[in-house]
Amino acid sequence: MREIRQPGSYSYVFGRYCEPIATVEPGEVVAIYTEDAFEGRITSESTLPSRVLGEYLNPQTGPIFISGAEPGDTLAVRIHEIEFTRDWAVSCFIPSFGGLTSTKLTPTLQPPLPERVWVYRRQPDGSFSYDPSKFSIQPTPFLGTVGTAPDLEALSALTPFTHGGNMDVPDVRPGNTVYLPVTVPGAYFSTGDCHAAQGEGELCGVALEISARVTLSFDVIKGRKIAWPRIESPEEIMTVGSARPMEDAARIANTELILWLESEYGFDRWDAYQLLTQAGKLYVGNMVDTYYSLVAKVSKRYLGGSVSTAPSS
């Protein structure tokens, strides 16, 4: 299997302005190495973020040019496996960042929360813990960041938006397929920010950050245009909306899910609105990034005899 590592410095934006680091054919399975959100700089409880972090966060491996992907297509990203490349993960409290503090976008005159680093070490049972007498977390790895290039903008790797990006949605995990809009030739796919685990909302803003080897393959769905990221698991279809205020993210995710039910599952619009009202799920991926990400989902059991949207590879 081909292995892809960032050849020089990591990318900190999603955009068409960086040179691709590799070209991948549809259907080819590749292993991509990703650094943690801090580029490995926080290694102990005493390496405070304010002292060791560089100017930018969330290094991305990429962009990767996907052969045959053209504007107006959809890129299907199949996540086969995520393997940690170290036996510890790190979380921390970063001043003026997180869900229960004032931030640069929600400023107040109050003093910041204390800065603090938490190193979670792998335990004999496979869980992660900074103090097993307190609590341990079983790993449920996923990719905090997957995305294509926006057509015009270069967006920070900390931002989730229509192109995917830093959604911090736990359903971006092995076994699932992420669908992303293609707006530049070659799609310019990047990924990074692997989380060993994360709660819904990513409350303090920093999950169990870890480096990883990620096994992926890609398909290009020609001529299928989507406006926002979608996810498919064996049991569910899901859409992700990223916006502020949070209700706008909820509106986007649900609107997109209705459009999906209409366009590919034969639903009438109002039947779809009813179905989601009575059987939809709606959870918060992150409440901390530059835009909040919400996930709307519905079980495939309600989708009748409809065929999967997944193209045969």
Site for a copy of itself in 77-116 (CB under 8 A): 91, 93, 99-102, 104-114, 116
Among 25, 115, 279, 311, binds a copy of itself (CB under 8 A): 279
Minimal CA–CA distance to 152: which of 123, 111, 184? 184
By CB under 8 A, tell whether 309 contacts a copy of itself: no
φ, ψ at 278 (rounded to 5°):
-95, -20
Pairing outcome for strands 60-66 and 22-24: parallel
Residue 234 burial class via C-beta count within 10 angstroms: exposed 0-12, middle 13-18, buried 19 and up: exposed
Site string for a copy of itself, 42-71 (x = CB under 8 A): -------------xx---------------
φ, ψ at 143 (rounded to 5°):
-100, 115
Residue among 28 and 248 whose Cβ is closer to a copy of itself: 248
Residue among 104 and 234 whose Cβ is closer to a copy of itself: 104
Position 285, amino acid? G
Among 41, 273, 300, 306, binds a copy of itself (CB under 8 A): 273
How many positions of this chain bind a copy of itself (CB under 8 A)?
A: 81
Token duo for residue 38: 């801090």
Site string for a copy of itself, 171-210 (x = CB under 8 A): --------------------------xxxxxxxxxxxx--
Token duo for residue 249: 């993210």
Among 147, 194, 280, 289, binds a copy of itself (CB under 8 A): 280
Token duo for residue 122: 């792998």
Among 212, 221, 287, 289, binds a copy of itself (CB under 8 A): 287
By CB under 8 A, tell whether 154 contacts a copy of itself: yes
Q: In the bound complex, what is the minimum distance in angstroms from residue 294's beta carbon to a copy of itself?
A: 7
By CB under 8 A, tell whether 234 contacts a copy of itself: no
DSSP assignment of 85-133, as one string?
Answer: SSSEEEEEE-TT-STTS--SSS--SSPPPPPEEEEEEEPTTS-EEEETT
